Amino acid sequence: MSKLLFTRVPSNPVSLGLVCNFIAHHPPFDGYEFGQMVKSLRYQLEQQTHLIGSIDDAIVAYVGWIVTSREIAEAWVANRGPLNSDPEGTAIAATVMATRSSSHILPLIKEAKLLNLDKSVYWKRDFIDARGAMKRAVRKRGA
Protein backbone atom coordinates (compact mmCIF):
# COMPACT_ATOMS: atom_id res chain seq x y z
CA MET A 1 0.00 0.00 0.00
CA SER A 2 1.26 3.48 -0.84
CA LYS A 3 2.05 6.01 1.85
CA LEU A 4 -0.29 8.80 2.93
CA LEU A 5 1.43 12.10 2.07
CA PHE A 6 0.47 15.60 3.25
CA THR A 7 0.74 18.87 1.40
CA ARG A 8 -0.83 22.25 0.88
CA VAL A 9 -1.78 23.27 -2.63
CA PRO A 10 -1.48 26.69 -4.27
CA SER A 11 -4.52 28.89 -4.59
CA ASN A 12 -5.51 28.53 -8.24
CA PRO A 13 -8.58 27.38 -10.19
CA VAL A 14 -7.27 23.84 -10.71
CA SER A 15 -6.56 23.30 -7.00
CA LEU A 16 -9.93 24.76 -6.06
CA GLY A 17 -11.68 22.46 -8.52
CA LEU A 18 -9.89 19.36 -7.22
CA VAL A 19 -10.67 20.22 -3.60
CA CYS A 20 -14.32 21.05 -4.40
CA ASN A 21 -14.71 17.77 -6.27
CA PHE A 22 -13.31 15.81 -3.33
CA ILE A 23 -15.38 17.61 -0.67
CA ALA A 24 -18.59 17.38 -2.73
CA HIS A 25 -18.57 13.61 -2.37
CA HIS A 26 -18.54 13.60 1.46
CA PRO A 27 -21.42 14.18 3.86
CA PRO A 28 -22.46 16.54 5.25
CA PHE A 29 -20.77 18.79 2.66
CA ASP A 30 -22.51 17.09 -0.27
CA GLY A 31 -25.74 18.71 0.93
CA TYR A 32 -24.38 22.21 1.58
CA GLU A 33 -25.03 25.25 -0.58
CA PHE A 34 -22.50 25.29 -3.42
CA GLY A 35 -21.62 28.99 -3.23
CA GLN A 36 -20.90 28.97 0.49
CA MET A 37 -18.71 25.87 0.26
CA VAL A 38 -16.69 27.27 -2.64
CA LYS A 39 -16.22 30.54 -0.77
CA SER A 40 -14.97 28.69 2.33
CA LEU A 41 -12.62 26.42 0.39
CA ARG A 42 -11.27 29.29 -1.73
CA TYR A 43 -10.51 31.25 1.45
CA GLN A 44 -8.66 28.28 2.95
CA LEU A 45 -6.57 27.85 -0.19
CA GLU A 46 -5.81 31.59 -0.39
CA GLN A 47 -4.79 31.74 3.27
CA GLN A 48 -2.94 28.40 3.12
CA THR A 49 -5.01 27.23 6.09
CA HIS A 50 -5.59 23.74 4.77
CA LEU A 51 -3.92 20.39 4.45
CA ILE A 52 -4.46 17.67 1.89
CA GLY A 53 -3.74 14.00 2.36
CA SER A 54 -3.02 12.04 -0.80
CA ILE A 55 -2.11 8.54 -1.87
CA ASP A 56 -0.70 7.97 -5.35
CA ASP A 57 -1.58 11.56 -6.37
CA ALA A 58 -5.25 11.12 -5.41
CA ILE A 59 -6.80 13.27 -2.68
CA VAL A 60 -7.98 11.06 0.17
CA ALA A 61 -8.27 13.61 2.99
CA TYR A 62 -8.78 17.34 3.50
CA VAL A 63 -8.88 19.63 6.51
CA GLY A 64 -9.30 23.39 6.38
CA TRP A 65 -9.37 25.94 9.16
CA ILE A 66 -9.58 29.61 9.99
CA VAL A 67 -7.19 31.53 12.25
CA THR A 68 -9.14 33.40 14.89
CA SER A 69 -9.08 34.50 18.51
CA ARG A 70 -9.79 32.20 21.41
CA GLU A 71 -12.80 34.34 22.37
CA ILE A 72 -14.34 34.17 18.90
CA ALA A 73 -13.70 30.41 18.65
CA GLU A 74 -15.23 29.69 22.06
CA ALA A 75 -18.33 31.74 21.22
CA TRP A 76 -18.63 29.92 17.88
CA VAL A 77 -18.34 26.46 19.47
CA ALA A 78 -21.02 27.43 22.01
CA ASN A 79 -23.31 28.81 19.24
CA ARG A 80 -23.07 32.29 20.78
CA GLY A 81 -21.53 34.03 17.79
CA PRO A 82 -20.23 33.80 14.23
CA LEU A 83 -16.83 32.49 13.29
CA ASN A 84 -14.72 35.38 12.02
CA SER A 85 -11.05 35.45 11.18
CA ASP A 86 -8.41 37.20 13.25
CA PRO A 87 -5.06 36.91 11.46
CA GLU A 88 -3.25 37.66 14.73
CA GLY A 89 -5.37 35.15 16.65
CA THR A 90 -4.12 32.49 19.02
CA ALA A 91 -6.60 29.82 17.91
CA ILE A 92 -7.72 27.92 14.86
CA ALA A 93 -11.19 26.64 14.12
CA ALA A 94 -11.37 23.62 11.84
CA THR A 95 -14.35 24.14 9.56
CA VAL A 96 -14.01 21.46 6.88
CA MET A 97 -12.71 17.92 7.22
CA ALA A 98 -13.40 14.97 4.98
CA THR A 99 -11.56 11.69 4.53
CA ARG A 100 -11.98 8.70 2.30
CA SER A 101 -11.12 6.40 5.22
CA SER A 102 -11.39 6.79 8.97
CA SER A 103 -7.75 5.63 9.15
CA HIS A 104 -6.73 8.99 7.64
CA ILE A 105 -8.36 11.14 10.35
CA LEU A 106 -5.75 10.93 13.11
CA PRO A 107 -2.70 11.33 10.83
CA LEU A 108 -4.39 14.32 9.15
CA ILE A 109 -5.17 16.00 12.49
CA LYS A 110 -1.65 15.37 13.82
CA GLU A 111 -0.05 16.84 10.70
CA ALA A 112 -2.33 19.91 10.79
CA LYS A 113 -1.51 20.44 14.46
CA LEU A 114 2.22 20.46 13.62
CA LEU A 115 1.53 23.49 11.40
CA ASN A 116 -0.20 25.28 14.31
CA LEU A 117 1.75 24.32 17.43
CA ASP A 118 1.26 27.72 19.04
CA LYS A 119 -2.53 27.74 18.71
CA SER A 120 -5.53 26.26 20.51
CA VAL A 121 -7.81 24.18 18.25
CA TYR A 122 -11.62 24.28 18.08
CA TRP A 123 -14.07 22.35 15.92
CA LYS A 124 -17.64 21.19 15.52
CA ARG A 125 -18.72 18.00 13.84
CA ASP A 126 -22.04 17.81 12.06
CA PHE A 127 -23.67 14.49 11.32
CA ILE A 128 -25.89 13.50 8.40
CA ASP A 129 -28.46 11.92 10.71
CA ALA A 130 -30.51 13.53 13.50
CA ARG A 131 -27.62 13.78 15.98
CA GLY A 132 -26.68 17.27 17.05
CA ALA A 133 -23.31 18.83 16.37
CA MET A 134 -20.38 17.56 18.43
CA LYS A 135 -18.19 20.38 19.76
CA ARG A 136 -14.56 20.13 20.84
CA ALA A 137 -11.69 22.31 21.96
CA VAL A 138 -8.03 21.59 22.65
CA ARG A 139 -6.56 24.62 24.37
CA LYS A 140 -2.87 25.31 24.21
CA ARG A 141 -1.33 25.05 27.66
CA GLY A 142 -1.01 28.42 29.28
CA ALA A 143 -3.61 29.95 26.96
Mean pLDDT, rounded, for 45-52: 97
> Is CATH 3.40.630.30 what the domain over 5-138 is classified as, yes or no?
yes
Confidence of residue 137 (pLDDT cuts 50, 70, 90): low
Domain locations in the chain as residue ranges: 5-138
Exposed/middle/buried for residue 115 (C-beta within 10 Å: 0-12, 13-18, 19+): middle
pTM of this structure: 0.85
Residue 25: count other Cβ atoms within 10 Å of its Cβ. Answer: 10
Give the residue, 135 or 84, on which the prediction is more confident: 84
| Length of the chain as a residue count | 143
Helix ranges (H only) for the chain are 13-23, 34-47, 70-77, 105-114
pLDDT tens by residue, 99-127: 999 999 999 999 999 999 999 999 886 55
